[in-house]
Amino acid sequence: MGVAIDTIGSFVTAGATNPTSLKTVTVSPGDSLQIRSFPATNRAWLESMIAQTATKGKQRVLSPLLHDNVTGLTFATVDTDSYYLMNRHARQRLYPTDTLAVYSSAAAGASGILALLVYYENLPSSNARLANWGDISGQIKSIKGMEIDVTSSGTIGTWSDTAINATDKQLHANTDYAVLGMYSSVATGIIAIKGIDTGNLRMGMSGGINTYESSNYFVELSHRSGLPCIPVINAANAPSTYVSAISVASVSADNVTLVLAECGTNTGL
């Protein structure tokens, strides 16, 4: 089973005069609003919508395969910080190759970003190493906070990738680490982890500064969904594993901290 989590980034660079007027988003380079192809016998879900806007506004996702194709998934947003818009205990079923229509709003001249977090029960092309809490809780040897100095792209809505060992190089060789969560030192739109062990897909979350939720994010996502959602990375892959970031600010320099659980070598996770 090729379980996978993917994060689709999108943005608007200038809102309308009325902040509730919706504009079609631009998709972040390298991303697509088309749901990936997977077997019809399996399922995929929209787990989260995450938004950051410079002013109050709205975010909307439409498809004929959702509740309706008029207002569909529409949520109001508040300014500055990065927020989860959907109820954390409910998720929206998605279907193979369906293309979502996504809209965003902000005040005149303001910018906004919206990310969609998609969970695939079986994505044939993925080899992501995702675990449940019960898989790792009995194997934890140490907790490690790993700092990565990240500067987001100078272009709004473009992902910026920084290797996780760019700042801190103290991971133990050939050792598996579970990523329990991560958080940012300043309010950033979306932060994500991406590498060989995530199937080269971005696993994203809010870049808000509520560390109580963020430091435990992937564990809680797994608990509430009942699905394996905790990424497991090996230290040997650190140079090609990245923290990614996008923000409404054209440049946002901050420190991202990965909250890691060292699980040891040959864990079988």
Q: Is 91 helix (H, G, I), strand (E, B) or coil?
A: coil
The dotted CATH code for 4-120 is: 2.60.120
Domain ranges of the chain: 4-120, 130-264
- Spatial distance between the Cα atoms of 232 and 263, rounded to a whole number of angstroms: 9
For 130-264, give the CATH class. mainly beta
pTM value?
Answer: 0.91
- The structure tokens listed for 41 are 């016998």
pLDDT at residue number 241: 98
- Report DSSP state, residue 25: P
Confidence band of 212 (pLDDT split at 50, 70, 90): low
Per the model's pLDDT, the better-predicted residue between 89 and 15 turns out to be 89
pLDDT at residue number 120: 96
Of the candidates 170, 197, 206, the one whose C-alpha atom is nearest the C-alpha of residue 9 is 206
Our separate counts of H helices and E strands in the chain read 3, 19
pLDDT at residue number 253: 66
Is the pLDDT at 260 greater than 80? The verdict is yes
Q: SS3 string of 99-158? A: ECEEEECCCECCCEEEEEEEEECCCCCCCCCEECHHHHCCCCCEEEEEEEEEECCCCCCC
Note whether 242 and 191 are within 8 A (CB).
no
130-264 matches 4-120 in CATH topology: yes
Query: Region 118-142: what's the mean pLDDT?
Result: 94
Is the pLDDT at 15 greater than 60? The verdict is no
Question: Which has the minimum average pLDDT: 7-16, 43-52, 212-221, 247-256?
Answer: 247-256
- The number of residues in the chain equals 269
